[in-house]
Structure 1
Amino acid sequence: MDLEWSGKIALTYAGEDEFNHDFKIVVQNVIFDGFHYPKEWSQEEALEAFSSKIASLEAYEFVDMNPKSFQRNYKLVPNKL
């Protein structure tokens, strides 16, 4: 996927407090690694947190980031079709 991000910044290090400067970042061919969340969260807590942020939550699944470990640590990734 490609990512384009733009916004305004204030140069607070130079004493400015108004957002007078534009920026734009374009990154191409980015591989999306999924949504990481605190390992203290249960999958239910993660679903609740992401449900208002992701339009098609059913298109995602939990994947164990370290399946050989006894400590479960998941991320939410798009389903592989």
Structure 2
Amino acid sequence: MTSKVEIYTWSACPFCLRAKALLNRKQVEYTEYCIDGDNEARDKMAQRANGKRSVPQIFINDQHIGGCDDIYSLERSGKLDSLLSA
């Protein structure tokens, strides 16, 4: 079974591009919500992300992972693959 991965982004955000690059490198399919200027979508994201309003915000199997630094930290610690294969 593959994990359900969702990422909230802005199109020109370098951190969003970096997070998506990691997922692409790992050949992970994900759903992207590009929320450029969409305050309603940003509010929905913030509700899911415990109030965090910065992008990207990443979710794996509906669990909030965090942003770009967080997903790279999981990768460095060897924990990302197990989350993605759950």
TM-score normalised over the length of structure 2: 0.27
Q: Which has the higher helix share?
A: 2
Larger RCO (CA under 8 A, 6+ residues apart)? 2
TM-score, with structure 1 as normaliser? 0.29
The structure where strand makes up a greater share of residues is 1
Q: Which structure: larger Rg?
A: 1
